[in-house]
Chain A
Amino acid sequence: MAFEYAPAPESRAVVDIAPSYGLFIDGEFAEAADGKVFKTVSPSTEEVLSEVAQAGEADVDRAVRAARKAFEKWSALPGSERAKYLFRIARIIQERSRELAVLETLDNGKPIKETRDADLPLVAAHFFYYAGWADKLGHAGFGSDPRPLGVAGQVIPWNFPLLMLAWKIAPALATGNTVVLKPAETTPLSALFFADICRQAGLPKGVVNILPGYGDAGAALVAHPDVNKVAFTGSTAVGKEIARTVAGTRKKLTLELGGKGANVVFDDAPVDQAVEGIVTGIFFNQGQVCCAGSRLLVQESIQDELLESLKRRLSTLRLGDPLDKNTDIGAINSAEQLARITALAEQGEAEGAERWSPACELPSSGYWFAPTLFTNVTQAHTIARDEIFGPVLSVLTFRTPEEAVAKANNTQYGLSAGIWTEKGSRILAVANKLRAGVVWSNTFNKFDPTSPFGGYKESGFGREGGRHGLEAYLDV
């Protein structure tokens, strides 16, 4: 039973979205060379938020040249000076964080509770963290004077638009590279606001270039011969294509791709805490998270008790206006993504899994998908194998820790995993055997700029965050 709450909307007045935006190249906003534009909409209302210039190959070339030109001076700056630019950026993000949170919620559809309390604090923290590295690179374990690579081409997804920008740009600039970044076509706005923050911070022109656009612009950026480093976060299929593109070049590559994280709950786990962790694991950001705990592996003996608690908890989740401070589940980012989630959920039913959702009224406009749980799922089911990237949880069971490990690792992916048990030695033993880059034990979906993040197997390679995250941007 959900409590009734009066609406508590966050004010939209804090953000001023212009009717149109250009590409940000060499410190200036400019139209695309071919004049193309595209609309960005609010996924919760389908309202057009703004019209944005759409980068093409010529724009990519211009941006890379600007970044190349800026590289010489930027990389020659003392690290302590680069650090101060990044500290400035971190501070301005903090100052403008409510504005950016509302903007992100509007453009992405995720709840303000998340943008305000998770995305934005992490964005600022990430810049603050890497700012401090800029003049300490000789102490990072990559030699006494590690050199930057040059121009970094970065392509980011729509699920955490500004946070993914921070993960890409902060370490790149701290190490002395210049960047050309392409935000996702459904969420270009926060990156364009970031361009304005670069202006406020007095960042030299050309050091950061932002190219809103579609996959073709991303492909052109990745393939550009004067790009020295490619960083991509997104789907495994595109990641493989990028790996093929850079094959045979000297471009350094890091990929942060899909996942099918297992959340393993043992019979001695504190059930209420585990339920909270499961909910965070799969319903945070509507499950549009590469490290989501999308497979629940529960020990057979506690399945009934756990599922009952979980269903009760799901019934209290509030789905609706993402700007409402009480909202738990926001909108799906795009019609295309909604269609994909819908199709995969239907396939789950067709293959014989049992579908359940709490009573949940969906708004009449916008892209929405109710929290969904599948039981009677086997490892062969598509919903247990493919990344759904939506609020859909597949429940499987196990009897022994060995079986849990085998099932958890039975995937092409290896990004995240969760373990719930009160037994310390079991946590350490299971964590040791899981083939995943991040293991959350008795917690889930925790992030920190000091903590390296990245996958095993087809979840990609390279790490973002921490000292490890520097390596991707250094010539080592």
Chain B
Amino acid sequence: MSEKSEKSEKSEKFERLSVLKTYKLYVGGKFPRSESGRVYEVADSKGNWLANAPQSSRKDARDAVVAARKAFGGWSGATAYNRGQILYRIAEMLEGRKDQFVREVGDAEGLSKAKAAAVVDAAIDRWVWYAGWTDKIAQVVGGGNPVAGPFFNLSSPEPTGVVVVLAPQDSSFLGLVSVIAPVIATGNTAVVIASEKSPLPALSLGEILATSDLPGGVVNVLSGRTTEIAAPLAAHQDVNAIDLAGADEVLAKELEIAAADNLKRVLRPQPVDYSATPGTERLTAFLETKTVWHPTGSLGASGSSY
């Protein structure tokens, strides 16, 4: 009897089945599935199934632009200090969920745990780097101009608007952060197309952004076929700029031609070492310069004119 009962207890011991996450898009601060109902299989570097990711449609892309446009006024109007605090908050949130990202990045890019950890650390530090830039870039690239006349004349950088970002295809997390952070640091809002084969770190980043006080719609993350999503976005009349980091040569040319229809600002793809400290190029690529004049009044021969 006793032998038997031991046996039955043993047979009931099993490895706990983990709870899998349904990966979803991040649009307007919410986590929708693709309106198309489509998903595609995402595998790790060895071909093992990881998840089904939403395969975004043209409609999802348009919804994301609407969300990004809606968020632009508030985000670009927020103080630079406030934006800096929120970017720093993103780093804090990531730090707390580091293990998850180390696992996801390791799976996505086929990295050892140590190497994946180094990548995630660098990505967190990148948020901190850009958090510090929010209230400094205006002094670096703007300023007063000594015009030859009695005028106050000030040039200030302003965000260009809604920026579509094709995230790098290979660097699924550090590269991703390196292209999103500079766009939003200056007050732009973003529609991000995640790495096609490794979208999971990007989709998980949405969960971080959602809990970092970042207003909904400032960053919108889409996964799916890059060419399918990018084409309508490059041609979209309410998009102001496009970062082609994740496009190959053929796609980049195609998208740049489409972008000319409303003269989007285009950042062409170029080789980037994402592990190195970035310069200011990605910040300034999506900035406009506004110059404001006003008479100062002058003391002329006839006396005061102010």
- A interface residue numbers (CB < 8 A to B): 125, 141, 236, 239-241, 243-244, 247-248, 250, 255, 257, 412, 427, 431, 434, 436-443, 446, 448, 450-454, 456-458, 460-461, 463, 466, 468, 476
26 of the cross-chain contacts (CB-CB < 8 Å) are A141-B140, A141-B141, A236-B263, A243-B260, A244-B257, A247-B260, A248-B252, A248-B253, A250-B268, A412-B262, A436-B290, A439-B290, A439-B291, A439-B293, A446-B147, A446-B151, A448-B145, A448-B147, A448-B153, A450-B146, A450-B147, A451-B293, A456-B290, A461-B263, A466-B145, A468-B289
Please name 12 further chain A to chain B contacts, defined as beta carbons within 8 Å, in addition to the given A243-B256, A243-B260, A461-B263, sorted by A numbering. A243-B259, A244-B260, A247-B257, A248-B249, A255-B263, A431-B290, A441-B294, A443-B294, A450-B148, A458-B262, A466-B145, A468-B141
Flag B135-177 by CB within 8 Å of A: 1 or 0 each.
0000011000111110101010000100000000000000000
* Cβ–Cβ contact B151 & A454, under 8 A: no
Q: How far is the CA of A446 from the CA of B291 in the complex (A)?
A: 11
Given contacts A125-B148, A441-B293, A441-B294, contact A247 B253 (CB under 8 A): yes
* Cβ–Cβ contact B151 & A466, under 8 A: no
B281 within 8 A of A: yes
Task: Give residues of chain B (239-258) contacting chain A, Cβ–Cβ below 8 Å.
Answer: 240, 249, 252-253, 256-257
Q: How far is the CA of A198 from the CA of B253 in the complex (A)?
A: 38
* Cβ–Cβ contact A457 & B263, under 8 A: yes
Closest residue to A143 on the B side, CB-wise?
A: B279
| B252 proximity list for chain A (CB < 8 A) | 248
Closest residue to A249 on the B side, CB-wise?
A: B253
State how many angstroms separate the Cβ of B298 from the closest Cβ of chain A. Answer: 13
Among A240, A250, A437, A446, point to the contact of B290 (Cβ < 8 A): A437
| B149 proximity list for chain A (CB < 8 A) | 446, 448
* Cβ–Cβ contact B281 & A450, under 8 A: no
State how many angstroms separate the Cβ of A402 from the closest Cβ of chain B. Answer: 12
* Cβ–Cβ contact A456 & B293, under 8 A: no
Q: How far is the CA of A442 from the CA of B293 in the complex (A)?
A: 8
State how many angstroms separate the Cβ of B68 from the closest Cβ of chain A. Answer: 16
State how many angstroms separate the Cβ of B140 from the closest Cβ of chain A. Answer: 7
Q: How far is the CA of A366 from the CA of B253 in the complex (A)?
A: 45
**B interface residues, how many (CB within 8 angstroms):** 34
* Cβ–Cβ contact B291 & A248, under 8 A: no
Given contacts A141-B141, A466-B155, contact A446 B293 (CB under 8 A): yes
* Cβ–Cβ contact A437 & B260, under 8 A: no
Chain B CB count within 10 A is highest, among A247, A250, A434, for A247
Q: How far is the CA of A247 from the CA of B253 in the complex (A)?
A: 5
| B289 proximity list for chain A (CB < 8 A) | 437, 452, 454, 463, 468
| B265 proximity list for chain A (CB < 8 A) | 461
Closest residue to B293 on the A side, CB-wise?
A: A440
Among B151, B263, B292, point to the contact of A239 (Cβ < 8 A): B263
B228 within 8 A of A: no
State how many angstroms separate the Cβ of A423 from the closest Cβ of chain B. Answer: 12
| A440 proximity list for chain B (CB < 8 A) | 293
B288 within 8 A of A: yes
Q: How far is the CA of A448 from the CA of B146 in the complex (A)?
A: 9
Given contacts A446-B151, A451-B153, contact A243 B294 (CB under 8 A): no
Q: How far is the CA of A247 from the CA of B269 in the complex (A)?
A: 12
Q: How far is the CA of A466 from the CA of B148 in the complex (A)?
A: 12
* Cβ–Cβ contact B148 & A448, under 8 A: yes
| B281 proximity list for chain A (CB < 8 A) | 476
| A436 proximity list for chain B (CB < 8 A) | 290
B295 within 8 A of A: yes
* Cβ–Cβ contact A456 & B155, under 8 A: no
B261 within 8 A of A: yes
* Cβ–Cβ contact B262 & A443, under 8 A: no
| A460 proximity list for chain B (CB < 8 A) | 263
Among B257, B259, B268, B292, point to the contact of A439 (Cβ < 8 A): B292
| A257 proximity list for chain B (CB < 8 A) | 263
Given contacts A452-B145, A454-B289, A461-B265, contact A427 B155 (CB under 8 A): no
Q: How far is the CA of A452 from the CA of B289 in the complex (A)?
A: 8
Closest residue to A446 on the B side, CB-wise?
A: B293
| A236 proximity list for chain B (CB < 8 A) | 263
| A248 proximity list for chain B (CB < 8 A) | 249, 252-253, 256-257
State how many angstroms separate the Cβ of A263 from the closest Cβ of chain B. Answer: 13
* Cβ–Cβ contact A458 & B292, under 8 A: no
| B160 proximity list for chain A (CB < 8 A) | 456
Among A141, A446, A452, point to the contact of B155 (Cβ < 8 A): A452
* Cβ–Cβ contact A431 & B261, under 8 A: no
State how many angstroms separate the Cβ of B251 from the closest Cβ of chain A. Answer: 10
| B146 proximity list for chain A (CB < 8 A) | 450
| A141 proximity list for chain B (CB < 8 A) | 140-141
| A454 proximity list for chain B (CB < 8 A) | 289
| B155 proximity list for chain A (CB < 8 A) | 451-452, 466, 468
Q: How far is the CA of A475 from the CA of B151 in the complex (A)?
A: 32
Q: How far is the CA of A450 from the CA of B294 in the complex (A)?
A: 15
State how many angstroms separate the Cβ of A28 from the closest Cβ of chain B. Answer: 36
| B288 proximity list for chain A (CB < 8 A) | 437, 456
Q: How far is the CA of A463 from the CA of B263 in the complex (A)?
A: 15
State how many angstroms separate the Cβ of A231 from the closest Cβ of chain B. Answer: 15
Closest residue to A252 on the B side, CB-wise?
A: B268
Q: How far is the CA of A448 from the CA of B261 in the complex (A)?
A: 31
| B260 proximity list for chain A (CB < 8 A) | 240-241, 243-244, 247
Given contacts A141-B140, A448-B148, A457-B240, contact A243 B263 (CB under 8 A): yes
* Cβ–Cβ contact B294 & A427, under 8 A: yes
State how many angstroms separate the Cβ of B283 from the closest Cβ of chain A. Answer: 12
Q: Please provide the 7 A-B residue pairs with the shortest distance between their CB atoms, ordered closest to farther.
A: A248-B253, A243-B260, A247-B256, A448-B147, A450-B145, A247-B257, A441-B294
Among A255, A452, A461, point to the contact of B291 (Cβ < 8 A): A452
Q: How far is the CA of A463 from the CA of B284 in the complex (A)?
A: 12
Q: How far is the CA of A441 from the CA of B154 in the complex (A)?
A: 12
Q: How far is the CA of A458 from the CA of B265 in the complex (A)?
A: 10
Q: How far is the CA of A452 from the CA of B155 in the complex (A)?
A: 7
Q: How far is the CA of A255 from the CA of B288 in the complex (A)?
A: 13
* Cβ–Cβ contact B294 & A442, under 8 A: yes
| A441 proximity list for chain B (CB < 8 A) | 292-294
Among A240, A427, A442, A451, point to the contact of B263 (Cβ < 8 A): A240
Closest residue to A431 on the B side, CB-wise?
A: B292
Q: How far is the CA of A171 from the CA of B160 in the complex (A)?
A: 24
* Cβ–Cβ contact B249 & A437, under 8 A: no
State how many angstroms separate the Cβ of B72 from the closest Cβ of chain A. Answer: 11
* Cβ–Cβ contact A442 & B295, under 8 A: yes
Q: How far is the CA of A457 from the CA of B288 in the complex (A)?
A: 9
Flag B200-244 by CB within 8 Å of A: 1 or 0 each.
000000000000000000000000000000000000000010000
Q: How far is the CA of A162 from the CA of B155 in the complex (A)?
A: 25
Closest residue to A439 on the B side, CB-wise?
A: B292
State how many angstroms separate the Cβ of B277 from the closest Cβ of chain A. Answer: 14
| A468 proximity list for chain B (CB < 8 A) | 141, 155, 289
| B291 proximity list for chain A (CB < 8 A) | 437-439, 451-453
